[in-house]
Amino acid sequence: MRGWREKETPPPSIKMQKSFLPSPLLFIILSTLQGKNLIHDPYKPECVLRKMPCHPKAICQLDELSSEFYCRCLPGYDGDGISLCQAPAFHITVSDASVCDEMGEQVCLLHVKEPRVTFHVSVSASANRRSPSVIWYKFYTGQSPQFHSYRQRLGSVGDRTLRRRVGNRSRILTLLSIQDDDFYPNLFWAEVRLHALIPKTLGVEAYDLSRFQLLNPSGLRFYFALEGTSIEVGPFLEGDTAVLRLPEYLHLSPSSFVQWIKEPRPLTLLDDQAVIIADEVEKMVISGLTESNFGYVRALVYDFHSEVPGRVLVAERLFLIKKEQTSRVASISDVTKTCEGSRGERSCRCNPGFEGRGVHCVDINECERKTALSCLSEATCTNTYGSYFCRCPRGLEGDGLVRCVDVDECTRGTHKCNQNALCLNTLGSYVCACQSGFIGDGSRCTAKSTWSPWSPWSPCSVTCGIQNQMRIRECTHEESGMRCLGPSADLKGCPNLRPCPTNGGWSVWSPWSVCLETCSGIKKRLRLCDSPPASRGGLPCKGEKEQLGLCHSSHCAVDGAWSLWASWTPCPVSCGLGVVRRSRRCNSPSPEHGGKNCSGHGYEEGTCGFPEALCRFLAEPSESIVPGKLIQ
């Protein structure tokens, strides 16, 4: 942020970092509680210079894409920023101010002493409107710049932790069990939402609070921040060594990332003088304490959280380095001077690195007076009690006096790149870039969703006509959240297929032809082999293409006709002559409507068998007859 600076006198044994806090999380809180102007308008002179007077409820903004300045209404206000900034219809406030130890504009700070706390909010409307709904969120500060921050919508449904409860139409949030990840700089807030804009589901989403939102609070949102009791260490005198051991107070996992912050006072992480004094160390050793080292030091622990996808703040501890109020009498352990005999001006002299007349010796700040050997331009001169040292900036190593060379983290294997990422060394640092086929920030690389190889074409099951072949493919690595572009199936016609032969098919019968004679004429109908016609070697139609019929009405005379003769009756004798009979009927057709009867007779008789003499002859045996042969 503009106007931030390092503290002038950093702890002696700790390398100062010129990078500031990753997320301007509570600048809004600090600006309100420290009595600063609530409207942060750093570009106001630019808009005035361009004769663009912004509305009192708007600020001058710079469009980074076009590099043009414009007026923008404050959060919650609607309008063009110049002539109109309409106030929001609703305003949310804290109902029970007694729970807050400190109050600011839309901010409540609580020093937690109990394992349970309740927040109360109320909503007022500027017009006669129905009160909107209130949504509660918990905000997780992300480890910048590798990870986003996140917000989690809170409610009675879907809150798996069972540590939070929302009630009274979302006007009250109760933290039933306060955990390490609930403390500042993580936040809770209540937000007014119109009914049409309320999210339908509970969940977690990436959400980075913008500088515009933080520096210009809106009446539609109210923040709550929790602060625990500080851990006192000491008291110490100047020149002593203070050791802060975080593992004594917190369990750290192998994936934990620890950041140490020097604060002038609690809840001022983003104060102008708050600085990062160390990263990735679990123990702080501050040798040669000076006046500026006393006070508050906060340890922030970032790690992967079960409720959010990134690495966020999971715990913090605030240490208070106390200073001894009583002065010590110079003794043999006093490193500021050397005495001979009685301890007076004439018997004591200040040691190198200190100045005075011998009774009282004070440290010489060689870095400010520039009386020390010059540190390299990129190195930092740090004063110590009675001396000083030069420290190369992060990512460089050497004595700081004559040598600061780049550390190749990639070659040494000290980088934190993902196994699927490439490590690219830079001056003083390194960059992680996911390899081809992966996406991510370098510390995490997820395989991109890509199409699998096409399957073989399906076989053709016909030898003529038309048929398609098909092949398919799958979109891999769904966990990346990406979509594969293009179709998942492909079709093509089977090659070298000739048209199939077509057999002929009959058309429907034509209507019967007109009968010229009512009772004795003949009528006719036709059909054609053209539905379809036989082609390419196909078979012609089977059956008759013409049918004939008699023309008669229901009252025409019909002459009778004999049916076929029935079979002869069996012969009634086996030897001798017998009589057999057969018959037929006049019913094919029967005579009707005065038609003629059948002519002839319908009954016949005949003989059967052999004469008796022949039967006896055949019955008598004879030597001249050879069995099986006919007698000529």
pLDDT digits (tens, 9 = 90+) for 452-497: 899 999 999 888 888 999 999 999 887 777 888 889 999 999 988 8
Which of 121, 153, 185 is where one domain is finished? 153
Same domain, 211 and 315: yes
3-state helix, strand, coil in the chain (%, to 5): 10, 35, 60
Q: Which residue has the higher pLDDT, 162 or 482?
A: 482
Q: Looking at the predicted structure, is the pLDDT value of residue 527 above 90?
A: yes
Which of 153, 174, 192 represents a domain boundary (last residue)? 153
Q: Can you tell me the distance from the alpha carbon of 365 to that of 381, in angstroms, rounded to the nearest whole number?
A: 10
Containing H/E element for 44? Answer: helix 44-49
Residue 333 reports pLDDT greater than 70: no
Q: Which residue has the higher pLDDT, 272 or 400?
A: 400
- Residue 350: inside a domain, yes or no? no
* pLDDT score at 416: 86
On the question of pLDDT at 336 being above 90, the answer is no
Count of domains forming the chain: 4
Which of 258, 199, 193, 261 shows the shortest CA–CA distance to 26? 261
The better pLDDT of the pair 66, 55 is held by: 55
Which of 323, 346, 362 is the last residue before a domain boundary?
Answer: 323
**Comparison of pLDDT for 73 and 203, the residue scoring more:** 73
Supply 483's token pair. Answer: 């979509």
Classify 409 as helix, strand or coil. helix
Residue 366: inside a domain: no
Residues 225 and 244 in one domain: yes
How long, in residues, is the chain? 632
Specify whether 223 is located in the same domain as 311: yes
Q: Using H for helix, E for strand and C for coil, what is the string for 434-447?
A: ECCCEEECCCCEEE
Residue 61 maps to a domain = yes
Beta strands in 237-326 (DSSP E): 242-245, 257-263, 275-279, 283-286, 295-304, 311-323
In-domain check, residue 86? yes
Give mean pLDDT, residues 547-562. 80
Q: Is residue 291 part of a domain?
A: yes
Do 62 and 105 sit in the same domain of this protein?
A: yes
311-323/172-175 β-pairing: unpaired
Q: What CATH number should be reported for the domain holding residue 575?
A: 2.20.100.10
Residue 361 to residue 234: CA distance in whole angstroms: 23
**pLDDT of 159 over the 60 cut:** no
Tokens of 118: 């309740």
Judgement on whether residues 93 and 59 belong to the same structural domain of the protein: yes
Q: Which two tokens stand for residue 204?
A: 């977690």
pLDDT at 37: 44
Spatial CB neighbours of 283, under 8 Å, sequence gap ≥ 6 = 243, 244, 245, 246, 247
Mark whether 148 and 231 lie in a shared domain.
no
Residue 115 has a CB neighbour count (10 Å cut-off) of: 10
Strand pairing report for 275-279 and 187-193: unpaired
Least confident of 224-233, 288-297, 350-359, 426-435: 350-359
Residue 71 lies in a domain: yes
Tell me whether residue 331 is in a domain: no
Looking at the structure, tell me whether residues 318 and 210 fall in a common domain.
yes
Q: Within this chain, do residues 52 and 91 fall inside the same structural domain, yes or no?
A: yes
Residues 268-294 have a mean pLDDT of 77
Strand partners, 164: 175
The answer to whether 566 touches 602, Cβ cutoff 8 Å, is no
* Domain-located, residue 632: no
297 and 280 co-located in one domain: yes
Taking a C-beta distance cutoff of 8 angstroms, is the pair 206, 149 a contact?
yes
The DSSP secondary structure of 194-256, one letter per residue, reads: -GGGS-SS--EEE----HHHHHS--TTEEEEEEE---EEEEEE-TT--EEEEGGGTS---TT-
338 has pLDDT over 80: no
Same domain, 210 and 319: yes
* Residue 86 structural domain: 43-153
Residues 120 and 144 in one domain: yes
pLDDT tens for residues 356-385?
A: 877 778 888 888 876 656 788 888 888 877
User: Do 55 and 128 belong to one domain?
Assistant: yes
> How many angstroms separate the CA atoms of 596 and 617, rounded?
53
pLDDT surpassing 60 at residue 414: yes
Q: Tell me: pLDDT of 355 over 70.
A: yes
- Contact criterion met (CB below 8 Å) for 195 and 131: no
pLDDT at 621 over 80: no
Q: What is the CATH number of the domain that holds 216?
A: 2.60.40.10
Q: Which of 43, 46, 55 is nearest to 87 (CA)?
A: 55
Cα distance between residue 573 and residue 615, in whole Å: 12
